[in-house]
Amino acid sequence: MQLYNKLSAKERAELIESTGKERLTLSFYQYANIGNPQILRDHLFITWNALDVLGRIYVASEGINAQLSLPADRFNAFKTHLDSIDFLKDIRLNIAIEQDNMSFLKLKIKVRDKIVADGLADDTFDVTNKGIHVAAETFNALIEDENTILVDMRNHYESEIGHFKNAITPDVDTFRESLDIIEDDLKAHKEDKNLVMYCTGGIRCEKASAYFKHKGFKKVYQLEGGIIEYTRQVNENSLENKFIGKNFVFDDRRAEKISEDVIASCHQCGTPCDTHVNCANEACHLLFIQCETCKDELDNCCSTSCKEVVGLPYETQKALRKGQGNSNDIFKKGRAEHLPYKKDLRNIFETLKNK
């Protein structure tokens, strides 16, 4: 029996287009003790493939993390299947604010060591002993309290295009980096301050809240459902929106607009811009922010050298890539030295730090 995706992204896109069906993009997660993640993975693939689910799903002994899309007319069947699994019954589903039929083009369900890579070798803390979940209205009130410290648990390239007002936004590339940094920076306030955290959909905050409780923080809170659920509640209940900019998402949409504010800048020229793109040179594929002017001038590339490569015949490009992995620049998420505006920003930050 086929337990893996066989269609290419192009073939899948054509199939989606031909059906004419609207699709829903959604996400969910759940921490739970799973005895055999591989068996669950195969069961999910068989069932969800039949429902035309596409997405990126991780299963581990600590739970499941799913970001996916499916035909809107199969949502009820999908929900019925989730409810048939004990630890997923009545789970909250974060429906995307902005829908796109092409948000995912393959079904990938992978077994991982953890559903959120944390780099921790400490198995003594209970990931289910989480902090207090708060809804949007309570969250708004809580972050106005002078005894609250608000922390963004996402990475620098996410918070760069959007974040809550007055939030601490750690300058990190990965979630695992942020845990020790936050604990060290806030260790003097373990007893007296409210530690309030948020992330995209709640999964990173949930693990972080359990970890910080384990480390002795007494008043630990997290935004229920993350930025996605917060935005839904704000819109449905006419609450004040305290998020500025865009919410970065990990699918082909790249981001959802939460407010009209543009708080980031093009990494090449510095003009206001908050659109993430990948370099068109497949041997580079760097994720960075690029305005329309720079996009036109550099043919969707991050540098003139990549533009030169993209200008070559495809077979020549393919030959140049042969035996080569993607450049490590892809993991720098906009930190590459050849991005002049980002380089200037780093110099400014270093100068301020040394004063």
3-state secondary structure 75-130: HHHHHHHHHCCHHHCCCCCEECCCCCCCCCCCEEEEECCCCCCCCCCCCCCCCCCC
pTM for the whole structure: 0.80
Query: Measuring CA to CA, which residue among 60, 331, 79, 96 is closest to residue 207?
Result: 60
How far lies 153's CA from each of 35, 166, 180, 210, 214, in Å? 29, 14, 12, 13, 17
Q: 163 with 209: CB under 8 angstroms?
A: no
Q: How far apart are CA 100 and CA 106, in angstroms?
A: 14
pLDDT of residue 144: 95
Distance of alpha carbon 310 from alpha carbon 296, whole angstroms: 13
The pLDDT score that the predictor gives to residue 328 is 52
Give the single-character DSSP code of 329: G
- Amino acid 344: pLDDT: 59
Pairwise CA distance, residues 106 & 346, whole Å:
37
What Rg, from alpha-carbon coordinates, does the chain have? 21
The pLDDT value given to residue 355: 39
Which domains are delineated in the chain? 9-111 (3.30.70.100), 132-237 (3.40.250.10), 264-354 (no CATH)
Helix (H) or strand (E) run with residue 307 in it: helix 304-310
Residues with active-site annotation:
199
**Tokens describing residue 232:** 């839904």
- Strands 132-134 and 220-223, by their bridges, are parallel
Contact present, 161 and 287 (Cβ < 8 Å): no
3-state secondary structure 159-187: HCCEEECCCECCCCCCHHHHHHHHHHHHH
From 180, 38, 50, select the one nearest 112 (Cα to Cα).
Answer: 38
pLDDT by residue for the chain (355 residues), tens digit each? 557 677 777 878 888 888 888 999 999 999 988 999 999 999 999 999 999 999 999 999 989 999 999 999 999 999 999 999 999 999 999 998 888 898 999 999 999 998 988 877 777 778 888 999 999 999 999 999 999 999 999 999 999 999 999 999 999 988 888 998 999 999 999 999 999 999 999 999 999 999 999 999 999 999 999 999 999 999 999 999 999 999 999 888 889 999 999 999 999 999 999 999 999 998 888 999 999 999 999 999 999 999 999 999 988 888 888 766 655 555 578 888 888 887 655 554 444 444 3
Residue 154 DSSP code: S
Rounded Cα distance, 24 and 10, in Å: 19
